[in-house]
Amino acid sequence: MSGKRMNELEALALMRGGMTRRDVLRRFGAAGGVLAAGSLLAACGGSSGSTGGGPSSSSGPVSIDKTVAPNWVFSNWPLYIDVKNKTDHPSLDKFDKQFNTKTTYQEDIEDNESFFGKVQAQLKAGQDIGRDIVTLTDWMAAKWVALEYCEKLDLSLLPNVEKNLVDALKGRSIDPTNDHLVPWQSGFTGLAYNPDLTGFEVTQVSDLWKPELKGKVTVLTEMRDTLGLVMLQMGIDPTKCTPDDAQKACDYMQPYVDSGQIRRFTGNDYAADLAKGNVYACMAWSGDIVQLQLDNPKLKFVFPQQGSMLWTDNMMIPKNASHPYNAHLWMNFYYQPEIAAMVEDYVNYVCPVNGAKEVLVKNDPSVANNPLIFPTQDSLDNAFVFKALTPEEELQFNQSFQALQGA
């Protein structure tokens, strides 16, 4: 489901301190299977160090007019909230009823970069971009925090967030003062395939290179996802990779691009090809596949044996938004387990709200047992956050990757 995910988790400061997965688990304890997806992100917890772009928001807490506005705008990725009858969103309806307001929900974020491109000029000029909440992936969220394009949150209005946010997502270095971002969903990047078409079970990235899949395989344009998975396949640690590693990964993939083994590089438009049968196996995002499985139960998503990639999308209030109070109310409202569970039932990504799983187990046990939504500890252990890149590194990584695509 959902739109394109630029899942690069190398949010500005994610692995600054050079913490490894193991460090993380030791620090936060490998608690049983609940929503510890963020535990990986815990890497951010308390890490120090700085590489360009340190936190720069120094303005004091926003004093907001605490009256509920009659309407407000929430921008999000497509298919990222509960849906009924194609157009209603029960969670939003409940919110509207409780607070006597009207939410305009827009699914106009397709891609982190292009959305940023759309609103950048207005943000720079200090104008209201017409949205009170936007949801962006870690690394882009980090940029907004650094550029002071999002408002400081009034934490006194967000007691539920304080209470129910999973520990792992607290105190991340992309949001050092902890008052700009509120996680919405997390997700995995792995492999999706149609076993009827492939004829065998896909278990690792190198399965994509089998001759019978020639021309029926796609990988992602998202550099951090594709290179991340390939590095894991090659035994390189994506949490610590260098530009040389990136080049090695690209060199490894080059013959498959040249020979036509890889059909093309996709955004989330792999979904169409997968559904149509043009593609038999591809790199994909977990939540998308859960949605596609509703239409075609045969499709499967696997966490590659060598490891998968992990990322989070965050809610934030753009600078000078006109209805920040409503935005706060919604963030607080969402962090109630029952509401989060409502959304989770449809969204099927990984929920950052403690207690949602328990609610779901009662109402929809099938979802509660879906390893893509409530990942097992094994999958979590084997999921990695891509290293936070400096602008220079990012340039080099991108250059290698662009050259690979022959673009």
**Binding positions for another protein, rule: CB under 8 A:** 3-4, 52-53, 56, 78-79, 86-87, 108, 110-111, 113-114, 116-122, 124-125, 127, 129-130, 143, 146-147, 214-216, 221, 257, 259-261, 263-265, 267-269, 271-272, 275-278, 292, 294-296, 391, 405-407
Residue closer to another protein, measured from CB, 242 or 296: 296
Q: What is the DSSP string of 80-95?
A: -S--BTTTB-HHHHHH
For residues 299 and 307, what is the distance between their CA atoms, to the nearest angstrom? 20
Query: Can you name the residues that pair with 255 across neighbouring β-strands?
Result: none
Residue closer to another protein, measured from CB, 29 or 260: 260
Residue closer to another protein, measured from CB, 111 or 344: 111
Closest distance between another protein and the C-beta of residue 214, in Å?
5
Closest distance between another protein and the C-beta of residue 106, in Å?
8
243 with 391: CB under 8 angstroms?
no
Residue closer to another protein, measured from CB, 35 or 220: 220
For residues 174 and 284, what is the distance between their CA atoms, to the nearest angstrom? 25
Closest distance between another protein and the C-beta of residue 109, in Å?
11
Query: Can you name the residues that pair with 102 across neighbouring β-strands?
Result: 71
Closest distance between another protein and the C-beta of residue 215, in Å?
2
Closest distance between another protein and the C-beta of residue 37, in Å?
24
Q: What is the CA radius of gyration of the chain?
A: 20
Closest distance between another protein and the C-beta of residue 302, in Å?
21
For residues 41 and 19, what is the distance between their CA atoms, to the nearest angstrom? 10
Nearest Cα residue to 5 out of 278, 249, 229, 309: 309
The amino acid present at 335, given as its one-letter code, is Y
Residue closer to another protein, measured from CB, 87 or 156: 87
Nearest Cα residue to 332 out of 187, 206, 193, 157: 157
Closest distance between another protein and the C-beta of residue 50, in Å?
10
Residue closer to another protein, measured from CB, 85 or 156: 85
Distances in whole angstroms, Cα of residue 324 to Cα of each of 66, 154, 288:
9, 10, 30
Residue closer to another protein, measured from CB, 113 or 201: 113
For residues 341 and 362, what is the distance between their CA atoms, to the nearest angstrom? 10
Residue closer to another protein, measured from CB, 39 or 268: 268
For residues 294 and 238, what is the distance between their CA atoms, to the nearest angstrom? 32
96 with 103: CB under 8 angstroms?
yes
Nearest Cα residue to 284 out of 200, 190, 209: 190
25 with 381: CB under 8 angstroms?
yes
Helices (H), 125-172: 138-146, 159-164
Closest distance between another protein and the C-beta of residue 149, in Å?
10
Closest distance between another protein and the C-beta of residue 157, in Å?
27
Nearest Cα residue to 374 out of 342, 401, 345: 345
Residue closer to another protein, measured from CB, 143 or 328: 143
Residue closer to another protein, measured from CB, 5 or 328: 5
Count helices and strands (H / E) in the chain: 17, 10
Closest distance between another protein and the C-beta of residue 262, in Å?
9
